Amino acid sequence: SKGVNGLEKVVLRESRGSSAEVYLFGGHVTSWKNDHSEELLFVSSKAIFKPPKAIRGGIPICFPQFGGLGSLEQHGFARNRFWAVDTDPPPFPVPTSSRAYVDLILRPSEDDMKIWPHSYEFRLRVALGPGGDLMLTSRIRNTNTDGKPFAFTFAYHTYFSVSDISEVRVEGLETLDYLDNLQNRERFTEQGDAITFESEVDKIYLSTPTKIAILDHEKKRTFVIRKEGLPDAVVWNPWDKKAKAMTDFGDDEYKHMLCVEAAAIEKPITLKPGEEWKGRQELSAVPSSYCSGQ
């Protein structure tokens, strides 16, 4: 169907009422609702749905470069390109149990080949699981015919909707090493208890557990990220100063969002021609009472 500014989007609905929306522009998930139709992702009220500007919120896909370190635009170009629906995908290594899914594909354009001289097939499956979980599976294959391998970094840059950032805790990253983007990516070690927020945070946690929990105290809700093939995790909140500096972000919106991003950054992924990489994240939103001790 047509979304904002007439951009094509696919709406997924699961039998129990949960739903998701993904724009073909960017392969960009912009909505994930539970079976009470509560929106679980954050999209800025000032988001600009106008290519080639990336949509501020939802789940931007950072490929082939996370961040600004490298020759490409910030976070690479995949989120600024039009994807296509993949009508005949090769069988998925992990068969999706749900029927509510869509397969998208991105291949490089002529112009893309000029800035990143590699050919690839990037297949993305967005699926709603039986309990309303949101699953993203990326499969990236090197289809170079010149024998050249390529290396890339990657992130699902997920914006979670939270009631009040000052009442949010992140569990699962305790005692890990991280690169602090606010201190020219110097390496530090996290202290031993859950992460809380009282100022700008922009940290790349290295070799994290596969499961990370984001507890929203007020909503008594916990987001759980389960990830595969994505060893790192970025935690970002712009706080007030950076919020004001972003034209596509409301001054106060930092209070109601948190980015926790399943990523592969510290060790770029290298693929030889014919090789394929798979990176998966599964998001669930559970009442917090179930989550203590899990």
- Cite the active site residues: 157, 261
Is position 16 annotated in a ligand binding site? no
> Is residue 236 near ligand TA6 by the rule CB under 6 A?
yes
Shorter beta-carbon distance to ligand TA6: residue 259 or 285: 259
> Is residue 259 near ligand TA6 by the rule CB under 6 A?
yes
> Is residue 173 near ligand TA6 by the rule CB under 6 A?
no
> Is residue 181 near ligand TA6 by the rule CB under 6 A?
yes
Cβ(215)–Cβ(193) below 8 Å: no
Return phi, psi of residue 91, to 5°: -55, 135
**Count of other CB atoms within 10 angstroms of residue 110:** 6
Cα distance between residue 54 and residue 50, in whole Å: 8
In this structure, are strands 276-287 and 28-33 parallel, antiparallel, or unpaired? unpaired
x/- string (CB under 6 A) for ligand TA6, residues 200-219?
A: --x-----------------
DSSP letter at 182?
Answer: T
Q: Tell me the closest approach of the beta carbon of residue 240 to ligand TA6, in angstroms.
A: 15
Omega before residue 89 within 30° of 0, cis = no
Cβ(59)–Cβ(103) below 8 Å: no
Q: Tell me the closest approach of the beta carbon of residue 109 to ligand TA6, in angstroms.
A: 21
State the amino acid at position 136 in one-letter form: L
DSSP letter at 267?
Answer: E
The only residue of 234, 257, 260, 264 in contact with ligand TA6, by rule CB under 6 A: 234
- Touching ligand TA6, residues 6-65 (CB under 6 A): 54
Close Cβ partners of 249 (under 8 Å, ≥ 6 residues apart): 44, 46, 56, 238, 243
Size of the residue set binding ligand TA6 (CB under 6 A): 11
> Is residue 74 near ligand TA6 by the rule CB under 6 A?
yes
Stretch that binds ligand TA6, among 3-11, 67-75, 158-166, 186-194 (CB under 6 A): 67-75
Is position 183 annotated in a ligand binding site? no
Cα distance between residue 282 and residue 276, in whole Å: 20
Shorter beta-carbon distance to ligand TA6: residue 254 or 277: 254
Closest by CA to 89, choosing from 136, 63, 124, is: 124
Is position 125 annotated in a ligand binding site? no
Cβ(197)–Cβ(165) below 8 Å: yes
Q: Tell me the closest approach of the beta carbon of residue 60 to ligand TA6, in angstroms.
A: 6
Q: Tell me the closest approach of the beta carbon of residue 283 to ligand TA6, in angstroms.
A: 17
Q: Which residue is nearest to ligand TA6 (CB)?
A: 236
Shorter beta-carbon distance to ligand TA6: residue 79 or 141: 79
Q: Tell me the closest approach of the beta carbon of residue 243 to ligand TA6, in angstroms.
A: 11
Q: What is the dihedral of CA 173, 174, 180, 182, to 10 degrees?
A: 100
The only residue of 75, 81, 123, 280 in contact with ligand TA6, by rule CB under 6 A: 75
In this structure, are strands 150-156 and 134-142 parallel, antiparallel, or unpaired? unpaired
Q: Could you list the residues that contact ligand TA6 (CB under 6 A)?
A: 54, 67, 74-75, 157, 181, 202, 234, 236, 259, 261
- Which amino acids are annotated as binding site for substrate, given as ranges? 56, 74, 79
